[in-house]
Amino acid sequence: MGLSRRIFISGAALSLAGCTSKPKSARLMEPRMLNAMQFRADGIPARFGDTAPHDWSGMSPINQPIHGIDAARYQGVIDWRRARASGVSFAWLKASEGGDHVDPGFHQNARAARAAGVPVGGYHFYYFCRPAAEQARWFIKQVKRNPGDLPPVLDIEWNHTSPSCQRRPAAAKVRDEMRVFLRTLEAHYSTKPVIYTTIDFWEDNGLDQFRGYDFWLRSVAGHPSSRYADARWTFWQYSGTGVVPGVPGTVDMNAFHGSDAAWRNWLAVRRQ
């Protein structure tokens, strides 16, 4: 998730998310499957690969025992049983964007993930040219409550490459809109959403002021502790160019902050 990230599909690079003011409906992409072993990289679990690896030093992703992915239509149809066997312990899938965009891959991949026993949830890509309440209602319309699913995710970051909306509201306005969106989803799903964001957005909008939410932080060039100072985090997106068995093309790779036991406890408390 994120406008600054690229994934490779049949040799071509496409941006993962692009804001739009018009509905989109399209068949799933058909990216080619890559061999993770051909893209082995230090610092990440041996069962995964990375097409553009970072030179990890100090605390690296491999130090975290629980790993997962986030994906959108660009990954096409995922073989979830193979992904689970390779060590994918969770997945968030793009479900919606703004107030009128639906990701066509969400329902198909979410159903298959559940059938394979992979905890799955949906995420919403925030659009700064629509009211927060409208976007929350749109997400709720697209993502039905499903017992056992992961909490919903608010993906909020600057839309700097959007063709239709590059607004940058003041930090106080951003935080107010976030609260509207988050509280609306919490009331509906009976669990607090997770907040995904990037380093610049975190700093620009004083997100360290938020309390009581699990943060999912993008940090592909260092451990979150070195990039976000004293930020509290639960999930770490450490690569946007990962290669995971069962997932076509490249995919975002993530880690949970904690042990196997901590992960089981988190799931027990935070699932819908």
Q: List active site positions.
A: 70, 155, 157
Cα 73-128-145 angle, rounded to 5 deg = 50
Residues contacting residue 118 through CB under 8 Å, at least 6 positions apart: 80, 83, 84, 88, 89, 90, 91
Selection from 133, 253, 124 nearest residue 196 by Cα: 124
Question: How far is 241 from 7, CA to CA, in rounded Å?
Answer: 6
CB half-sphere exposure, 162, CA atoms < 13 A: 21
Q: Which two tokens stand for residue 211?
A: 């309390």
Question: How far is 97 from 95, CA to CA, in rounded Å?
Answer: 7
Q: Which residue has the tokens 């965009």?
A: 101
